[in-house]
Structure 1
Amino acid sequence: MPLLSQAAPVGVHDMMVGVDYSLVIAAAQAAGPCPPGEEPDWGRRVHALTVDLHLIAQQAAQDIARVESASRFVAFLEKVEIEESSRRGLLTLRNPAGDTEHIRTEQQETDRGRTLIERARALTGRWVLVFRHNDKASATKSVRMLAHLMDLGDGAIAVNLAKKILLDDAGGAVPRAQAAWADAGLPDSGTVTVEQFQQARGKLQGERDPGIAG
């Protein structure tokens, strides 16, 4: 980039040492063409944008790591409130078995908290895939925190995920889970609806208690 090498202000050259060049290129593209005679201002803008992109990349890496290590479960998102005492978003979820669980976001005033609260509000009344991690509130207490939400639309669940949940319901007993899945007539690949998945869980429940219709 001739402009950076010939006309950029002192500091831009040093900026490149140890910096991902792709960030500098992206920043230069975002800044747009350098107007003739405005090289110093343009260089400072590229500098600032590179730093911004670097910080964004760091935050994204942290968020990805949090999602990768999070536990996942399917639930119906009933409502989203702001907890008065903590200013955190408080989500009320109901899993396919009908059990209620509450999970919190970061504080509403933070960028991440605000983003997750807005996303959760947009998905209220829908089935979602919840990514949850435990945040230590003290040496003896942890808080269930929301890492991410994925919309499941009309309730479509990936077969592999549905089978895993059913296996957990069966206490890890593979033959029982397989039998309930087969009795419900569910496919071996693709997706199933929440209603179809509930049929398999009903078969499993009926197998435990013959008095319950499957």
Structure 2
Amino acid sequence: MARRPLSRTTSVGCAVIAAMVLSLTVPIAASAAPPAAPLLVAPADGSTTASVSPTLSVAASDPDGGSVDVAFEGREHGATVPSDPAAEGFTVVVVPDTQNYSDGKQALLQQQLTWVRDSRDALDTAFVIQLGDLVNDWTLERGWDNISDAFRILDDGAVPNSVVPGNHDFDIATGDMGPYNAHFPPSRYAEGSWSTETTRYGGYLGQDQFGPDPIDRGNADSYALFTAGGVDFLLLNLE
């Protein structure tokens, strides 16, 4: 609050007559400045805990001396959990273009993926990642059938795996992903026998998982999570 004196004088010839002198109490609005950024007290940044009811604490203040309400928001950490940081090394198998195996040479790919499945324990294989160009001609149905059957060797053997389309796998003029999503839909991986608490299919563009997605491309753009050697990995498959 502030006091502001107000006065008025009237001049008559050489005499000066004081008409009135008064003061008013005028309220001055608070600064309305935003509260300062809260300071983390506990738990420490980046720390982990096994407690199901951890103590959350921050220091907050208001520059105008008012009270401050603090609301904590949380979300579930991914589906993976830490493994032993002292664990032995692990293997990630990369399968490049399989297009030349898709029509007439599928037996070669079947042998390769059978070896990947059978050597999983010996190599401690954490994930198998295909790099696109599954087939040579996206309009040839038998090519899709051959490649799909070959990768089912991994599915049936509970070996974590993912695929992504290359330019041979869809209509590059229209973006049509029909055959690809028919043989490798999100459900094939979301319901995979290899899903565990440390390895899982995460989702796809069109699932509206983190809010509305602008388009639905099926399994063309997807992600997976897995933990190996004490490290959490995020695998992104982008068309």
TM-score normalised to structure 2 length: 0.22
| Structure-1-length-normalised TM-score | 0.24
Structure 1 or 2: larger helix share? 1
**Structure whose CA Rg is larger:** 2
